[in-house]
């Protein structure tokens, strides 16, 4: 039977890779809903190819534009807009599977809606879990949703664990998340202030959206992934370790209680974790290249340098603080990365904005229990971070 898939963030890097994998399996998947916030023309193109029941865009004006484009082709796709429409298509009774591939906290409400509706929820949108944490996991449990990690590291851990989740705690001593180290792993840290957005988004191993590419360069991506792992696998901060592995061949590892280590390997291509999520526990063709062991010169490992990558520690501190701490950290980082990409602040200022926002807000971050509380805390952190961006950017232009 055809599985009906809703792709939140269909025009993005993960969204388009998901459609690429689905295209290899005609008769197995149908695109039921496709959403995008920007690049409506690209969404129109995807609608022509996939003929979804629903398409969702950000604004009413975009919706009007998309309707005109689709009407010209005689397509019956219904066009909706806004955050409520995202949640509605994600929780639609006819949807089997949701790919959460929106970037940032903006994806949280639709993730919660899909979780409460008991969907098979393929989670790429790590920020949603960093912001939502406990509330997100409660929604998964209450809705009876199946949460399938898509982030390559978390997919690796997931693949190394037994299918019966009740056995996870008994198996794991700790996990090791691998990190490529990004484009500046060997650059002189004293020159990092001069990094341009173009340099920061040029990742050596992966082609990804701009925000996650900058996060990889600062290693805030790994910081967010540590927090993501805390919730996905129910682990304490001491049980989540990070090691640099510049080749990005081992995607992460589980160290069992007996010190046996299980690792998942593959070429660095998101189509593998996406295919795992789409078919689990079956395996389907992903379209990714197979690993050629004879071409692998070496697999090497290094510690993550705290001077070069100060952001990583913020994740551990946030996990040891009140639960809203990770919400604050994520919001600050979203604001800081956007300001860096907009050339308002320097690369090294991203960490300053994050650390200062966390220091200013975390004492009051404890009382965020509902989705509305979390979103209010997220907003408060954004305005605090924005004020810090302002002062740093004024200092730059002075």
The annotation places the binding site for NADPH at 11-14, 125, 127, 209
Please, what is the minimum distance in Å from the beta carbon of residue 210 to Mg ion?
Answer: 15
Please, what is the minimum distance in Å from the beta carbon of residue 56 to Mg ion?
Answer: 26
What is the C-alpha to C-alpha distance for residues 207 and 326, in angstroms, rounded to an integer? 26
37 binds, among ligand NAD, Mg ion, none (CB under 5 to 8 A by kind): ligand NAD
Total residues interacting with Mg ion, rule: CB under 5 A = 3
Beta-bridged to residue 120, according to DSSP, are: 97, 146
What is the C-alpha to C-alpha distance for residues 100 and 7, in angstroms, rounded to an integer? 7
What is the C-alpha to C-alpha distance for residues 90 and 67, in angstroms, rounded to an integer? 20
257 binds, among ligand NAD, Mg ion, none (CB under 5 to 8 A by kind): none
Q: What are the angstrom distances between the C-alpha of 39 and each of 7, 87, 92, 238, 321?
A: 15, 20, 24, 42, 39
Please, what is the minimum distance in Å from the beta carbon of residue 5 to Mg ion?
Answer: 21
Q: Of the two residues 350 and 392, which places its CB atom closer to ligand NAD in the complex?
A: 350
Among 27-35, 151-159, 271-279, 380-388, the segment contacting Mg ion (CB under 5 A): 151-159
30 binds, among ligand NAD, Mg ion, none (CB under 5 to 8 A by kind): none
Report the binding-site residues for Mn(2+).
151, 153, 225
Please, what is the minimum distance in Å from the beta carbon of residue 146 to Mg ion?
Answer: 20
206 binds, among Mg ion, ligand NAD, none (CB under 5 to 8 A by kind): ligand NAD
- Which residues in this chain contact ligand NAD in the complex, by CB under 6 A? 9-15, 36-38, 101-104, 106, 124-127, 151, 206, 208-209, 212, 270
Please, what is the minimum distance in Å from the beta carbon of residue 41 to ligand NAD?
Answer: 12
Q: Which two tokens stand for residue 99?
A: 């790919």
Please, what is the minimum distance in Å from the beta carbon of residue 53 to ligand NAD?
Answer: 18
Q: Of the two residues 228 and 378, which places its CB atom closer to Mg ion in the complex?
A: 228
Return the exposure string of 248-257: e unless at least 16 CB atoms fall within 10 Å of the residue's CB, then b: bbbbbbbbee
Pairing of strands 250-256, 172-179: antiparallel
- The residue sitting closest to ligand NAD, measured at its beta carbon, is 12
Q: Of the two residues 225 and 378, which places its CB atom closer to Mg ion in the complex?
A: 225
Task: Give me Rg for the CA atoms of the chain.
Answer: 20
Please, what is the minimum distance in Å from the beta carbon of residue 205 to Mg ion?
Answer: 11
Do 370 and 108 form a contact (C-beta atoms < 8 A)? no
Q: Of the two residues 328 and 392, which places its CB atom closer to ligand NAD in the complex?
A: 328
165 binds, among ligand NAD, Mg ion, none (CB under 5 to 8 A by kind): none
183 binds, among ligand NAD, Mg ion, none (CB under 5 to 8 A by kind): none
State phi, psi for 396 to the nearest 5 degrees: -70, -40
151 touching Mg ion, by CB under 5 A: yes
Q: Of the two residues 203 and 351, which places its CB atom closer to Mg ion in the complex?
A: 203
328 binds, among Mg ion, ligand NAD, none (CB under 5 to 8 A by kind): none
Q: Of the two residues 206 and 316, which places its CB atom closer to ligand NAD in the complex?
A: 206
Site for Mg ion, rule CB under 5 A: 151-153
């Amino acid at each position: 039977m055809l599985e009906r898939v809703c792709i939140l963030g269909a025009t993005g890097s993960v969204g388009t890779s998901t459609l690429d994998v689905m295209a290899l399996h005609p008769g197995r998947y149908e695109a039921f809903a496709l959403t995008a916030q920007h690049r409506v023309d690209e969404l129109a193109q995807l609608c022509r190819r996939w003929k979804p029941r629903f398409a969702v865009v950000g604004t009413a004006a975009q919706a009007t534009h998309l309707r005109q484009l689709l009407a010209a082709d005689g397509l019956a796709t219904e066009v909706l807009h806004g955050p409520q429409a995202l949640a509605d298509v994600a929780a639609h009774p006819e949807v089997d599977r949701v790919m959460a591939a929106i970037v940032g906290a903006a994806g949280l409400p639709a993730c919660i809606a899909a979780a409460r509706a008991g969907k098979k929820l393929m989670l790429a949108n790590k920020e949603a879990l960093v912001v939502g944490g406990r509330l997100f996991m409660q929604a998964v449990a209450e809705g009876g949703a199946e949460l399938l990690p898509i982030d390559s590291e978390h997919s690796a851990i997931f693949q190394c664990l037994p299918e019966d989740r009740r056995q996870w705690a008994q198996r794991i001593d700790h996990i090791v998340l691998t990190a490529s180290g990004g484009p500046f792993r060997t650059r002189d840290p004293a020159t990092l202030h001069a990094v341009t957005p173009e340099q920061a988004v040029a990742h050596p191993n992966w082609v990804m959206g701009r925000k996650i590419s900058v996060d990889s360069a600062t290693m805030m991506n790994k910081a967010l992934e540590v927090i993501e792992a805390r919730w996905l696998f129910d682990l304490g901060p001491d049980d989540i370790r990070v090691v640099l592995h510049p080749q990005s061949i081992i995607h992460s590892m589980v160290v069992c209680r007996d010190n046996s280590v299980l690792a998942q390997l593959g070429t660095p291509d998101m189509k593998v974790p996406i295919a795992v999520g789409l078919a689990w526990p079956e395996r389907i063709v992903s379209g990714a290249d197979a690993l050629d062991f004879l071409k692998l010169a070496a697999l090497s490992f290094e510690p993550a340098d705290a001077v070069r990558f100060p952001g990583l520690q913020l994740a551990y501190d946030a996990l040891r603080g009140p639960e809203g701490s990770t919400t604050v950290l994520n919001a600050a980082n979203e604001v800081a990365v956007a300001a860096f990409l907009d050339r308002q602040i320097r690369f090294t200022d991203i960490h300053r904005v994050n650390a200062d926002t966390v220091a200013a807000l975390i004492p009051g971050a404890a009382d965020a229990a509902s989705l509305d509380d979390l979103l209010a805390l997220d907003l408060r952190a954004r305005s605090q971070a924005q004020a810090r961006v302002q002062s740093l950017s004024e200092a730059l232009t002075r």
